Amino acid sequence: MIPILHLDDQIVVVSKPAGLLVHRSTLDRHETRFLVQSLRDQLGRAVTPVHRLDRPTSGAMVLAFDGVSCATLSDAFERGLIRKTYMAIVRGETPPDGFVDHPLRRLTDDPGQCPGAPEAFDTAQTRYARLATVEIPCRIDRYATTRYSLVALQPLTGRRHQLRRHLKHLSHPIIGDTTYGKSAHNRFFEARYGSRRLLLAATRLCFPHPADGRSMVVDAPLSDDFQRVVDTLGWTSAAGVATSLDDAATDAVYAGTIPAANLG
């Protein structure tokens, strides 16, 4: 069963498990299980994803039951009225907070794209804040000890793999990232903590409801496998603190938000 975080006549907000595709992709032709199909079977209604969440990423995701709601939320995304907050475990000790403004090359799902086509780059911006850090007396790279950080992330743009690529750009790749990360650290977390997943999760989703515009705030708890790593590293309290990365202008849009009912 897919965990339901909020449910009403227009939308459903779910906690997507890590490793589950949202829908069919040309890059995973042999996959047979998808979030959209599983939700359709579970709820008995067709659903349409409003935004994308990478296969290895877990956490909050909103889907619509009708075309009008989907279009309304899609427009809100384009206007920057939807906020997504993520939590990640990364290599190294990050600065306390920061802002990444680093354009990213446009990625495509089409494996047949002409390799000679000119590359397109899109503006990409991310806010981040360090929640906790730890130093482990274990040599992995060239140092006698190794540091890791728990960070909160907020993408201000919606580029593909944006958070994973921006953290790589900062030299603080996300643990468990087999595409942009460091294999030695991934192997260390698998051997020491039993973690075989990308340690990135969408933990909060804020958006105007498509029916009446009321502000919604939906929190997604960390999955059990992610939470075990957090607890083992001594970050239980830090991970449980709701962290705001919003500026005053964005906060004003969401003044007076109400928590979404947990119907799951």
Whose CA is closest to 77, among 210, 186, 231, 184?
A: 210
What pLDDT sits at residue 226?
Answer: 97
Return the minimum-mean-pLDDT range out of 59-73, 98-112, 233-247: 233-247
What pLDDT sits at residue 258?
Answer: 27
Q: How confident is the model at residue 141 (pLDDT cuts 50, 70, 90)?
A: confident
pLDDT digit string, tens, across residues 171-228? 999 999 999 999 999 999 999 999 999 999 999 999 999 999 999 999 999 999 999 9
**What does CATH list as the number for 4-107+121-259?**
3.30.2350.10
For the chain, domain boundaries:
4-107+121-259
Question: Whose structure tokens read 């849009």?
Answer: 253
CB-hemisphere CA count at 13 Å for 172? 24
What pLDDT sits at residue 23?
Answer: 80
Whose CA is closest to 242, among 123, 83, 118?
A: 83
Q: What is the pTM of this model?
A: 0.87
Pairing outcome for strands 200-208 and 58-64: parallel
Query: 54 catalytic, yes or no?
Result: yes
- The 8 Å CB, 24+ separation contacts for 222-225 are 222/58, 222/87, 223/15, 223/17, 223/18, 223/58, 225/18, 225/194, 225/195, 225/197
Catalytic one of 8, 9, 41, 54 = 54
